[in-house]
A and B are shown apart, each in its own frame.
Chain A
Amino acid sequence: NAGVTQTPKFQVLKTGQSMTLQCAQDMNHEYMSWYRQDPGMGLRLIHYSVGAGITDQGEVPNGYNVSRSTTEDFPLRLLSAAPSQTSVYFCASSYSPGGWGNEQFFGPGTRLTVL
């Protein structure tokens, strides 16, 4: 199993550009999510999905879109990049939503810089 994979590893954008961060998992996990990691702030939830066709907003959703057409993939779209979106982005998945103590598996991250 490859686990959770993310592409690209690094990306530099100019303000106003759009891009998609890719995330895929091969563990047949129902639940997938996107976090951003900023210095001194830990990880904050952007969007999450409890299954194909179902998505919802997390703590910091503004400026980001998601869709979940398959169980395996959960891309994150930046429609018009802003310098405030400079961050490290992590995708995570777990077997099922809710319940007690479900472990989440994280991808290696995408480091995004917006100039």
Chain B
Amino acid sequence: GNSVTQMEGPVTLSEEAFLTINCTYTATGYPSLFWYVQYPGEGLQLLLKATKADDKGSNKGFEATYRKETTSFHLEKGSVQVSDSAVYFCALTHTGTASKLTFGTGTRLQVTL
């Protein structure tokens, strides 16, 4: 079956530091890959997505590249801000599975001044 593995958190960074959150997946065929973000007390919001190999998703300074050869979709940001503090979820969905999302366990990011 499908599965997503994320690096354990929490991740604590100083403002303007470089961020990487690792995500690897197991799936047959060609899933679509997502990063969702959950700010404190809120529901999840789509941060970025990629639907085929070598696609790069980007939004709000965050980027992730769909790497089929390494089955990875690592999230990166060059300079984090305090407002980026949140929980980040990597997820995948597979064509034909009615948009059912399979989530990783989430990685909490805390950015300090």
Contact = CB atoms under 8 A, between A and B. Distances in A.
How many interface residues does chain B have, given as a range? 20 to 34
B27 interface: no
| Contact-residue bracket for chain A | 20 to 34
A109 B46 contact: no
A94 B32 CA distance: 15
Interface string B30-61: 00101010000111111001111000000000
Contact of A104 (B96, B99, B105): B99
A50 B44 contact: no
Residue among A33, A50, A90, A102 having the largest count of chain B Cβ atoms under 10 Å: A102
Contacts of A106: 36, 43-45
B100 A101 contact: no
Contact of A98 (B34, B49, B50, B98): B98
Interface string A95-111: 01111111110111100
Interface of A: 4, 31, 33, 35, 40-45, 48, 50, 56, 58, 90, 92, 94, 96-104, 106-109
